[in-house]
Chain A
């Protein structure tokens, strides 16, 4: 199991989408593709924007389907971050379909 600290990469206010992309492309996707489970650790992160969370996980759900959520966990999220993750996960699953 691989754990990625969001605070270490994005700071207390996680809003930089370039950082989110870097975590996704170089951390989350390679680990999941290699069969490893992922823990995204939000310890010490006070807030995150919807854009950051979208850039972090939407493409993972699109590429691997909702099954990716069985292998990806979100640790130590405060209630607002939990809700933002919930919104992104919901609309990605609702909207998975043809272009």
Chain B
């Protein structure tokens, strides 16, 4: 994976470096938009993905890394790696930054007292730290993390997000249960923790089981209806009520 090389720590013990092709993407630093675009172009052949799978993985990597580039204010950008697991036919993706963390960015527009409250808001559709306005700004909708959690949820995959001292983990849904999307991540089957050792920045991990990857198109239908309902609910909550005297 190139951990020691990335951390610039001398490592003298002899070892056999595996060929990444078809197995993993070594830890890669992404500092700007152009580096991300090149990374995504190179990633697909490296992991030997089918077109439908490449679409899903590319989508996840793009949205996560762009969140870091645009919001994290991280001096070092994003660090990303991925590994293919043959036995489970799955890809595990990890992305970390040492930026300001979710609470610092989300509270610019929405109140959150704790890191966990901030994570909860960040996972809701249409909530962004760049504005409190419905529909986001011209460049940000506040939908990226909701889409990724939705992909994991529909595919019954694992998804975890850690920022500051809080962690939210979407638990794998048992086979046979009907996967349903929720705008509020606390309504999904999950675990959460607070008061963990503080990570200054954000870490996201996702497992995507390739032979279970739902048709992206079907997934978007579920996202569309959940998203629309969430926006309607928020707009309705702002409506003035009639005053009965």
Q: Mark A20-38, 1 if CB is under 8 A from B, else 0.
A: 0100100000000000000
Q: For A92, list chain B residues within 8 Å (CB).
A: 135
Determine whether A96 belongs to the interface, using a CB cutoff of 8 Å to chain B.
yes
Q: For B133, list chain A residues within 8 Å (CB).
A: 95, 99
CA distance A16 to B34 in the complex (A): 8
Contact A91 B131, beta carbon cutoff 8 Å: no
CA distance A91 to B126 in the complex (A): 9
B58 touches which one: A15, A24, A91 (CB < 8 A)? Answer: A15
B55 touches which one: A18, A47, A62, A91 (CB < 8 A)? Answer: A47
Contact A16 B33, beta carbon cutoff 8 Å: yes
Determine whether B217 belongs to the interface, using a CB cutoff of 8 Å to chain A.
yes
Q: For B186, list chain A residues within 8 Å (CB).
A: none
Q: With A90-B224, A90-B228, A99-B132 as known contacts, state yes or no: A47 contacts B59, CB within 8 Å.
A: yes
Q: Kindly provide the distance from the CB of A28 to the nearest chain B CB, expressed in whole angstroms.
A: 12
List the count of A-B residue pairs having beta carbons below 8 Å apart: 108
Q: For A84, list chain B residues within 8 Å (CB).
A: 220
Q: For A87, list chain B residues within 8 Å (CB).
A: 220, 223-224, 227
SS of A interface (majority) = helix
Determine whether B37 belongs to the interface, using a CB cutoff of 8 Å to chain A.
yes
Q: Kindly provide the distance from the CB of A90 to the nearest chain B CB, expressed in whole angstroms.
A: 6
The listed residue with most A CB atoms (<10 A of its CB), out of B140, B141, B224, B231, is B141
Determine whether B134 belongs to the interface, using a CB cutoff of 8 Å to chain A.
yes
Determine whether B40 belongs to the interface, using a CB cutoff of 8 Å to chain A.
yes
Q: Mark B211-245, 1 if CB is under 8 A from A, else 0.
A: 00000110011011001100110110010000000
Contact A46 B51, beta carbon cutoff 8 Å: yes
Q: For B141, list chain A residues within 8 Å (CB).
A: 50-51, 54, 58, 88, 91
Contact A51 B131, beta carbon cutoff 8 Å: no
A51 touches which one: B125, B134, B143 (CB < 8 A)? Answer: B143
Contact A83 B220, beta carbon cutoff 8 Å: yes
Q: Kindly provide the distance from the CB of B239 to the nearest chain A CB, expressed in whole angstroms.
A: 10
Contact B139 A80, beta carbon cutoff 8 Å: no
CA distance A88 to B102 in the complex (A): 24
Determine whether A70 belongs to the interface, using a CB cutoff of 8 Å to chain B.
no
Q: For B24, list chain A residues within 8 Å (CB).
A: none
Q: Mark B134-147, 1 if CB is under 8 A from A, else 0.
A: 11101111011001
Q: For A11, list chain B residues within 8 Å (CB).
A: 37, 41
Residue of A nearest to B59 (CB): A49
Determine whether A55 belongs to the interface, using a CB cutoff of 8 Å to chain B.
yes
Q: Mark B15-58, 1 if CB is under 8 A from A, else 0.
A: 00000000000000000011011001100000000010001001
Q: For B41, list chain A residues within 8 Å (CB).
A: 11, 13
Contact A49 B223, beta carbon cutoff 8 Å: no
B residues near A (Cβ < 8 Å) are 33-34, 36-37, 40-41, 51, 55, 58-59, 62-63, 66, 70, 125-126, 131-136, 138-141, 143-144, 147, 216-217, 220-221, 223-224, 227-228, 231-232, 234-235, 238
